[in-house]
Amino acid sequence: MSEFNQPLGGNTMPRFAGPATMMRLPTQDSAQGLDVAFIGIPMDIGTSNRPGTRLGPRQIRDESRMLRPYNMATGAAPFESLQVADIGDVPINTFHLPKSVDIITAFYDDVLKHDCIPLTLGGEHTLTLPILRAMAKKHGPVGLIHIDAHADVNEHMFGEPIAHGTPFRRAQEEGLLAHNKVVQIGLRGTGYAPEDFDWCREQGFRVVQAEQCWHRSLAPLMAEVREQMGDIPVYISFDIDGLDPSVAPGTGTVEMGGLTSAQGLEIVRGAAGLNIVGCDLVEVSPPYDPSGNTALMGATLLYEMLCVLPGVKHSE
C-alpha cells in the first residue's frame, strides 16, 4: 500500500463515477501534511466580457477524471514521491471583489504555512494577485512565467484598480515580482495603442508575442527561460486563452492565433528543474464549451504542472 495518496483508478471505479475531485484524489480540510494541494477559486466577479469562470473549477475537476498517474512523455510519477490532495474551494464573497481578494490571500497564507505548493483551478485572473501577495510574504519577490493572450497590466478597468485585466500591474507596483524575472508568452490580438505591451518591456519583462511562437517548438525558448530564472522561487500563471480558441474556446476573452496545445505542454514541461512554488490555471468558462474540452486542456496542464514540481520522482 503506497504511503502517498493515489488518484482513483479507472479499473477500480468507472471514470464517470467516484469522487468529483481533481484526478479523483482524496480530499482534506487543510494543507497540513501535504506537499501539493489542488485548490479551486470559483470566481468570475472580476471579468470584463463573458462570465462563467465561477464554474471553471468544478468542470476542470470533472474532466480530470481521464488523467492517469504516470506521465508517459516525461516519466514523471508525482504520486510516488509527493503527498497530494484536493482541499476544495476558497470561500470567496461572490458579491464583493475586494473582500474576495483578501479572503484568497488569507487562505493561501494558511496553505503556505504548511510548506505546501498550491496548484489553483480558476476562476478568473484577478485571483493571481492575492495569491502572489501570499507568495511574496513566504518567499519574497518571485519569478513569473505568465502564459496569456493578454498582458493583464491595465492601469484600471472602469476606474477600478483590481480586476482580471490588472493583476500584473498591481503585482509589479507592490514589489511582488523579482526584477528581470518575468516572462509573458502568447500575447496577441488587438489593442488600444501601439504601446500596449511597452509598459511590460519597460519593467524588464520579457514579452514573447504569439507570432514569435507560430510554427516552431518552444523548447528553445524555455531553455532560455530556465537560465533567466536560475534558482529563485518561480510562479506559473496560465490563462487558458493563451491557447488558440480552436483547442480552448471555453473562455471569456478569446483571441485567434494562439498557442497550440502542444506548445502549452512544451512551456510547462520546459519549467522542469525550476524552483516552482505555485501555479494556477485560470479563465476556463464552461458555458462557452459544452464539450468540456477547454476544461480538459486546463486539467491536463495542471497535471503537467504537478509533474514539474521539485521532488517529483521519475520512472526508470
Say if strands 275-282 and 233-239 run parallel, antiparallel, or are unpaired: parallel
**Residue type present at position 80:** E
Would the annotation count 241 as a binding residue?
Answer: yes
CA distance 159 to 279: 29
Q: Chain-centre distance of CA 103, in angstroms? A: 19
Copy the grid coordinates of residue 90.
476558497
Would the annotation count 102 as a binding residue?
Answer: no
Which residue in 139, 136, 123, 194 sits closest to 170, CA to CA? 136
Would the annotation count 152 as a binding residue?
Answer: yes
Residue 76 backbone dihedrals phi, psi, to 5 degrees: -70, 135
**Residue type present at position 197:** F
DSSP 170-227: HHHHTT-EEEEEEEEEEE-S--SSTTTTHHHHHTT-EEEEGGGTTTS-SHHHHHHHHH
**Residue type present at position 295:** A
Question: Which residue shows C-alpha cell 497535471?
Answer: 303
Residues 6+ apart with CB under 8 A from 72: none
Annotation: binding site for Mn(2+) = 125, 148, 150, 152, 239, 241
Annotation: binding site = 125, 148, 150, 152, 239, 241
